[in-house]
Structure 1
Amino acid sequence: MLVLIPTPIGNLADITRRALDTLSSCKIILCEDTRRTGNLLRSYGIGGARLVSNFEQNEKARAQEIVDWVRNGITVGLVSDAGMPGISDPGFRAVQACISARCSVVALPGPSAAITALAASGLPTDRFFFAGFLPQKKGRMSVLQKMLCREETCILYESPHRIEKLLIEIAECGSADRQIVIARELSKVHEEYIRGMVSEVLATVRSRNSLKGECVVVLQGAGTPD
């Protein structure tokens, strides 16, 4: 069986009992970063599993090996550095390969930065679009413009040093008056939500020397009334 195991996005206390039990029982754990996962497991007093790297550059080549392990009756855990594996993180190819091979795949419920930010954003939550990370260069504006046409609330991830650029791009596309929320350092000591119109949040970001921590951006949809 392949088990997707979500890990905390910041606060180590957010892991579930079921996740801890599953990590303890796995013979092999696929990791985005074996060192980071090793540190996480040690913090919970968990040891014994073989940690195997599974990141963007090698997960396609690793897929058949994972299928072979599962077919041989080995319980294989899959984790990313934080949050739910496969959501803007490695994991999709392993899941796809196991399903194609008719192997059992399950996902445990748990932390997700996108859903956490959406729930506290104050923007409509009944329908939403998750864009993940926008392209850094080629096709970026095209993807952004298509997203801005969507009627539902939009969620995307962005690194702190590109937040100002993103806000400028949204404003230049004619959406400076839309409501936006930047959620950063979620579940950590310095957790913060910066709320307001795009133009207002841009002014706030510019007034600071820098932002720290990965950011979740939640943007009002084109069809959402003020």
Structure 2
Amino acid sequence: MGKLYIVSTPIGNLGDISKRMIETLTEVDLVLCEDTRRTGKLLHELQIPKKDFLSFTDYNEKAKTPFVIEMLNSGKNIALLSDGGTPLISDPGYYLIKQAILNNIPLDIIPGPSAVVSAVVLSGLPSDRILFWGFLPKKPGNKREVFKQYRLLTEVTPITIVFYESPFRIRESITLLDDQFPNCTLVILRELTKLHQEILRGYPKEILYQLSSNPKGEITAVLRLNIDPKSH
């Protein structure tokens, strides 16, 4: 029986590659990835011999998982990658991991970069309790509901929330935050670890003034409400 490796890859800076990641990708028989061209370029940069790739995305994960399980059962070692960061964290892989466990297939992880952890550390906000929301809903009404639920949770215990947002919707989301929580502390981290990394801190209205009218790149937001929890 083969082994399934969950492999973290850089979120923007190739200098964050680990020796263990290179060793694992060199040795496996098959690489599952979201974008085969992007992953092929990464392996070329690392001078790793050419590999067999299988496109593995949110849209085809369930359909392709039986084939992957069959390959693992036949003795093939397989690596699961995302386009950047750690697989499964707002990326494909959950269904595959669940099925691998049900089939008693050995798992291993090659830990590494994560936008969530990096954002929390750089934010300067309390990190003792963190709620990671993933990507916010696209519709404004659903976003308001998320923020409302966060407010209710914060009234019970102080907690920092982390979420991803599209550069095309980030200004809308910050405007909603300004409407609901004008005095909250917000940190916007754009293009983490890349050449044009940008970190903006302040109240939502202040961030709107600082942020480009047409931001580009991947955005992670860290938020903390400045309210006291209810006493018990």
Fold conserved between structures, TM > 0.5 = yes
- The count of aligned residue pairs is 222
Deviations 1:86-120 (A, max 9, x none): 10011111111101111111211100011001001
Q: Say yes or no: does 1:196 pair with 2:213.
A: no
Amino acid at match of 2:60: N
**CA deviation after TM superposition for structure 1 residue 150, in Å:** 3.1
Structure 1 residue corresponding to 2:71, chosen from 54, 69, 74? 69
> Which whole-Å CA distance do the structure 2 matches of 1:69 and 1:140 have between them?
41
5+ long unaligned stretches in structure 2: none
> Which whole-Å CA distance do the structure 2 matches of 1:114 and 1:215 have between them?
10
> Which whole-Å CA distance do the structure 1 matches of 2:43 and 2:78 have between them?
15
Instruction: Please list every run of at least 4 consecutive aligned residues from structure 1 whose deviation after the TM superposition is greater than 6 angstroms.
Output: none
> Which whole-Å CA distance do the structure 2 matches of 1:171 and 1:128 have between them?
21
**CA deviation after TM superposition for structure 1 residue 35, in Å:** 0.8
> Which whole-Å CA distance do the structure 2 matches of 1:221 and 1:106 have between them?
37
Amino acid at match of 1:117: A
> Which whole-Å CA distance do the structure 2 matches of 1:143 and 1:21 have between them?
41
Q: Is the 8 A contact 2:183 2:225 kept in 1?
A: no
Q: Say yes or no: does 1:220 pair with 2:224.
A: yes
Deviations 1:131-159 (A, max 9, x none): 00011127333223212333300000011
Aligned twin of 2:170: 163
Q: Is the 8 A contact 1:134 1:144 kept in 2?
A: no
Aligned twin of 1:147: 150
Amino acid at match of 1:104: P
Q: Is the 8 A contact 1:184 1:213 kept in 2?
A: yes
SS at match of 1:139: helix
Aligned twin of 1:12: 14
Q: TM-score, normalised by structure 1?
A: 0.93
**CA deviation after TM superposition for structure 1 residue 223, in Å:** 5.1
> Which whole-Å CA distance do the structure 1 matches of 2:226 and 2:183 have between them?
11
5+ long unaligned stretches in structure 1: none
Identity score, percent: 38
Q: Is the 8 A contact 1:176 1:197 kept in 2?
A: yes
